[in-house]
Structure 1
């Protein structure tokens, strides 16, 4: 079974100063809340152990997302590039972009593409000046991403902003409508609005859905995500563990116990992500 993990934060560089590693008690609490325990690689902050655990789970590739946020921490594109350079045969970088200053953001997008980043992470709700995804100030950035044909991952669910409105699917819906040729990934699947977000995906064929941790542990809406993967979202659904929040093998094994059609499993675990990332084979 081949797997691509679309949200993987290795224990290296500035990730270690971010809340997910700096406060392991919090991370452990979140993991236990959805039925998992932290793997050894996280407890020991070991990159090599992480690779061994990926191998054990059949995870061939991981997407490493950058972040620029005073709320949850920052990892710059240079750090993402250095992590990917450690194992370019296993890891793919998405650069975090600070959207607050439009001119600087556009320059950062160009720099990230030049560095070889395969996509971008834009999280306006977590910025120093929180904005919804469809804030007009964001639109020049989206136009540039669309022109460059570079995919954009939004952290659109969970703790995506100062209040629950930042996860509301209406914002990503408008962005997808106004930029129909920009490939959009909904990180965290716009949880907790699972049913509403699936409706948005039905209307907007340029959105890929990645609920990651929110499909596990009997979270409200989890069955809606599974139904979508079995149906019209079979070719736009992405698997992710949100490591270090979930261990690879337990995450994959649990996912395989969901009532998924045999015909969609390889697509959801590997092929959809491979196509989006431009991987061969």
Structure 2
């Protein structure tokens, strides 16, 4: 059996557009970009990696439009970034049963950021926090001391942290996202649940070794069309990693749902792995209940 279309999917990376213009989505790390092509020609800094980037067009209600796209592909719930603005608040109020939230965080802000996480969590009920290490300014590595207050906060709140790992798509330095940095963090914080985002390439084999070693480390498929899921990750999901690999898309930031789910037909997961990959692993990790 291939991809089972009757499973109600939990998508662990989806966005709600706020306007046709995308620039603000990438403003935080734009000062790191130096090449003229990215600055002058790209709508998004990693545009060279994607083709047919979806356009949301002009919508009267972007939140309702996003839910309509989810409904087309049987996506029951989606993890979206909490931006503490009107769009996020309306999404929670209107569709609290469809969206759950992670909050992007800046480790450079120290305890100010820890206090912000706790405040928003008490108000909203965050399901996770997230960091794009190469996109911090200045850049902060996964195992840098500035990250440790965020890790401790996530442990205290009993929520996962989502970390971009591997070579970043935007043309900015990669050192901060080397997969090897996770080893120290998983060792020092055995109660911290960590989810790798954005591929871990070219260290995907190391990512598998670390997931075998550390029970608190997970992998999500964000920003990859299914035809490009790393073979090491598929092999791991089909064997000892069935409970550790989680579906995440990248709509509408770089991939259309049509592209994702047409590719999904050819992903060689075992029958018993599909429900875990598309739904159950996320449900357990993010404590979504039934």
Determine the structure 2 residue equivalent to 1:48.
64
What SS does the aligned partner of 1:214 have?
coil
SS, match of residue 283 in structure 2:
helix
Aligned to 1:70: none
Worse-superposed segment, 262-271 or 87-96: 87-96
Q: Deviations over 1:82-138 (max 9, x none)?
A: 433332121111112221121101101211211211111123332222110101222
Please list every run of 5 or more consecutive structure 1 residues that lacks an aligned counterpart in the other structure. 67-74
TM-fit CA distance, 1:54 = 1.1
CA distance 1:86–1:26, shift in 2 (3 Å):
farther
Q: Please say if 1:177 is aligned against 2:187.
A: yes
Q: Which moved more, 1:11-20 or 1:250-259?
A: 11-20
Q: Quick one: which of 111, 124, 135 aligns to 2:119?
A: 111
Structure having the higher helix fraction is 1
Q: TM-score, normalised by structure 2?
A: 0.81
Q: Are 1:234 and 1:268, in contact at CA under 8 Å, matched by a contact in 2?
A: yes
2:74 aligns with one of 39, 54, 58: 58
- In structure 2, the partner of 1:137 is 146
Distance 2:139 2:180 in 1: 17
For this pair of structures, how many residues does the alignment match? Answer: 266
Q: What secondary structure sits across from 2:224 in the alignment? A: helix
TM superposition outliers: structure 1 runs of 4+ over 6 Å: 25-28
Taking the aligned partners of 1:160 and 1:182, their CA distance within structure 2 comes to: 26
What TM-score do the two structures reach when normalised by structure 1? 0.84
State the shift of 1:6 in Å.
0.4
Distance 1:178 1:15 in 2: 41
1:211-226 equivalences under 5 Å are 211-214=221-224, 216-218=226-228, 222-226=230-234
Corresponding residue of 1:240: 248
Q: Give the structure 2 partner of residue 69 of structure 1.
A: none
The equivalent position to 2:96 in structure 1, one of 88, 98, 102, is 88
Q: Which moved more, 1:252-261 or 1:178-187?
A: 252-261
Q: Retained in 1: the 8 A contact 2:245–2:277?
A: yes
Matched with 1:10 is: 16
Residue 37 of structure 2 corresponds to: none
1:205 aligns with 2:215: yes
Cα distance 1:118–1:83, how it changes in 2: closer, same or farther (>3 A)? same
Considering only CA atoms, is the larger Rg found in Structure 1 or Structure 2?
2
Q: Shift in Å at residue 26 of structure 1?
A: 6.4
Measure, in 1, the Cα distance between the counterparts of 2:173 and 2:54. Answer: 31
